[in-house]
Amino acid sequence: MQDKNTRKRSRKVLGAIIVVVFCLLAAIYIVVEKSGKWLVVNDDFKHATWAVILDGQSANMERNDYVADLKAQGKVDSVLILGRRVYRDRSNVDFYAEDFMRLGKFNPATIFLVRHDDPSTLSEACTVIPWLKKHKADTVLLVTAAPATRRAKRIFETLSGESPVYVTADIDYKQQYIADAWIFNRESRKSWIREWLAYAHSFFDLMGAHAFTESDSTYFSKIRSIADEEKDEPIIDLVSFQQEAEKPAAPADTAQPPAPAPSAPASDSIPNNVK
């Protein structure tokens, strides 16, 4: 009888272990399959009055490519390009803007440059939100890395209040992040860990935060369009300048100079003072 009870208990323990293992595997599957995608917010939108390109794109300028394509299609009216200072008098935004203007014939009056020293997305939000409110922005597209979209959207929405409306998009740059297979890719794993930690920390950062108004700007330098900057410092196209310099010089004029006039013939007469 005792052996029979022991076998029953053993079966119960074994069944409990199987249930626990099954639940654990299901949890792992959910973490692996869903958590990578959950970080990415890909909103469906038809038009945005502003696109804000946050700093941090790679050397391939994938964010520039994405926004330039939207602007060429008429889905974005104006663009804010953000970039940190990287040299004494040079900023990432100088390189971003130069590349962006090569991607299409865009009106320089609709491309605005934001030079800053902001170390985080939160600081970038504090820089541009009052400016966007001042310019009555309606719908704003936030362009950042795919796994940072949920965090960026939450930060901007919290600090903006009811307006403007923010949308985010997955720019589908697989070299940085693969949402549905992040565990199998080294760069994706790094992005997954970093973004989950950053998202959790954003709750602490935004604790007690209030919505900005247009008068709350802490940005002391002007946000200016490329057209305004060209008035002060005309942009020289170095490629065209070099091509002009390499053109062969015009051939010299080979026309012979006019021959000098012949001197007067010598007189046959002997001067009076010579005998």
Tell me the pLDDT tens digit for each residue of 185-206: 899 999 999 999 999 999 999 9
Q: Are 166 and 198 in contact (CB under 8 A)?
A: no
Asked whether the beta carbons of 58 and 23 are under 8 A apart, the reply is no
Q: Which two tokens stand for residue 189?
A: 């794993």
Indicate the CATH number of 48-227 among 3.40.470.10, 3.30.70.920, 1.10.287.180, 3.40.50.620: 3.40.50.620
DSSP helix/strand/coil, 218: coil
With CA atoms as reference, report the closest residue to 76 among 119, 115, 106, 40.
Answer: 106
Amino acid at 245: A
How far is C-alpha 149 from the chain's CA centre?
A: 13
Q: What pLDDT, on a 0 to 100 scale, did the predictor assign at position 249? A: 58
Low-confidence ranges of the chain (pLDDT < 70): 1-5, 7-8, 217-221, 233-275
Give just the sign of the alpha carbon dihedral 180, 183, 189, 193.
positive
Give the pLDDT of residue 119.
87
73 token code pair: 């299609």
Instruction: Delimit the domains of the chain by residue range.
Output: 48-227
